[in-house]
Amino acid sequence: MKFIRPLFFLLTLVFLQGLLVTQAAANTNPEVVFETSKGSFTLELYPDKAPLTVANFLAYVDGGFYDNTIFHRAIPDFVIQGGGFESGMKYKEPRKPVKNESSNRLKNLRGTISMARRTHPDTATSQFYINLSHNRSLDYISDHQPGYTVFGTISKGMDVIDKISVVETTTVGRSKDVPKEDIALISARRKAPVDPVEDDKKAAAPVKEAAVPKEAADTDKQEQGAFVAGEHYVVLERPVPTRDSSKVEVVELFSYGCSHCYEFEPLIKQWGKQQADDVDFWFFPAVWSKSMNLYAKAFYTADELKVAEKIHLPLFTAIVIKHESIRNESDLADFFVQHGVERKAFTETFNSTSVETRANHAEERIRLYKPAGVPEIIVNGKYRVERMRAGGLTEMLAVVEYLVNKERATLK
């Protein structure tokens, strides 16, 4: 008997340890990070509760379907809805519908995400909505009143959802509650899952005597060639010609309506000032929607009038930080006048052939670069660096440095 008790205790410990690891792995639900023109938010999905719906949703995410779409419906205290239209309420053709799984009885609570559908319960495709309150009328009641499938929740960034919900709306054709200004869904990407076993290994690892400074760690990464194509940056399918082949070109893509671009602004400009003469750094406004075209024309108008230093950062601040309503030419004219530009000069330049042409060229260049969102950086017309792949804004610069050094070797 005295041998049985220790053996039983040992077996119990092994069983419990295995159970804890299994539970930790099981609790690692997939997450998706959405980048929008109002900021970013993260979704946690429930494949155990709605396996068909989650698989359908992730197929759209992985296929890039949601990139460069819009939130086409915003009703305060009810829902915001997206996933089906591009700018200008241009319908985007989805795949086949998925079977309704609302019998999982998850409630349409504030912050949950559900699939939008037509009258028949099995008609959900790509469109989804996020609840702004507990919408009991959308919950499952019975097979005859099936409601809508809840398949996840907002785990981070509910303030962004609330910000989207209160924008000014209008009616477009038969569609009501359409935001007057495009709320761009710039990109949707899976968040890399956390491996609980690997985390345990890291936690159990011996502590080093001294921490390596971040700058040194980045340098080591570069020296060891730790940045991998397809993981940390994207190789463009077709290289885009640079404006000076004798230098390594670095181009920043931004938009005045992007909060991450505003945050990135001082970092990338400081980086640009520190570069050697063999680096050709410049930046331009990304264009793939009506609002982005307006901002691009503002950028080029300021450049044509030689008042970029007066306008650029203040316009960024007005839109992103102060949330000022700058939605049309008239609003921009008022802004330029406030900063010392004559209204007539602004109007003539804003509507000039030169500004229109430059904005069109920006849109054409975006089609060549095929960005997932903004801010992004193109290195020498060959590589695209984005925040999500790099791991953050400062990390983007580390990847860029690596690629610049890589391209230096090809200069003649």
Residue 34's alpha-carbon distances to 82, 87, 88, 161, 341, in angstroms, are 12, 17, 20, 11, 37
Q: Collapsing DSSP states into helix, strand and coil, what is residue 244?
A: coil
pTM, to two decimals: 0.52
User: 86, 129 in Cβ contact below 8 A?
Assistant: no
Counted residue by residue, the chain has a size of 412
Domain 214-408 fold: Glutaredoxin (3.40.30)
Helices (H), 254-307: 259-273, 290-304
Going from N- to C-terminal start, the domains of the chain cover 31-191, 214-408
| pLDDT given for residue 193 in this prediction | 59
More confident residue, 127 or 373: 127
pLDDT confidence bin for 288, thresholds 50/70/90: confident
Query: Is-same-fold flag (31-191; 214-408)?
Result: no
CB count, 10 Å around CB of 223?
A: 10
Tokens of 374: 């903004």
Q: Collapsing DSSP states into helix, strand and coil, what is residue 220?
A: helix
pLDDT score of 397 more than 60: yes
User: 101, 40 in Cβ contact below 8 A?
Assistant: no
pLDDT score of 218 more than 80: no
DSSP 172: E
pLDDT confidence bin for 82, thresholds 50/70/90: very high
CA atoms of 346 and 352, how far apart (whole Å): 10
Residue type, 296: A
Q: What angle do CA 125, 67, 167 make, to 5 degrees?
A: 90
Identify which of 404, 396, 184 has the alpha carbon closest to the alpha carbon of residue 294. 184
User: 261, 290 in Cβ contact below 8 A?
Assistant: no
pLDDT confidence bin for 15, thresholds 50/70/90: low
| Range from 46-60, 172-186, 187-201, 257-271 carrying the lowest mean pLDDT | 187-201
- Tens of pLDDT, residue by residue over 295-346, are 999 999 999 999 999 999 999 999 988 889 899 999 999 999 999 999 999 9
pLDDT score of 26 more than 60: no
> How far apart are the two ends of the chain, measured CA to CA in Å?
82
Query: Which percentage of the chain shows pLDDT scores above 70?
Result: 85
pLDDT score of 221 more than 70: no
| pLDDT given for residue 200 in this prediction | 45
Residue 147's alpha-carbon distances to 100, 176, 206, in angstroms, are 9, 22, 52
Point out which residues pair with 130 in neighbouring strands. 80, 113
Question: What does CATH list as the number for 31-191?
Answer: 2.40.100.10
Query: Which percentage of the chain shows pLDDT scores above 90?
Result: 69
| pLDDT given for residue 290 in this prediction | 87
CA atoms of 51 and 53, how far apart (whole Å): 6
Tell which phi-psi region holds residue 67, choosing left (phi > 0), alpha (psi between -120 and 50) or beta: beta
308-320 vs 259-273: helix crossing angle, rounded to 10? 150
User: 222, 216 in Cβ contact below 8 A?
Assistant: no
**φ and ψ at residue 124, rounded to 5 degrees:** -70, 140
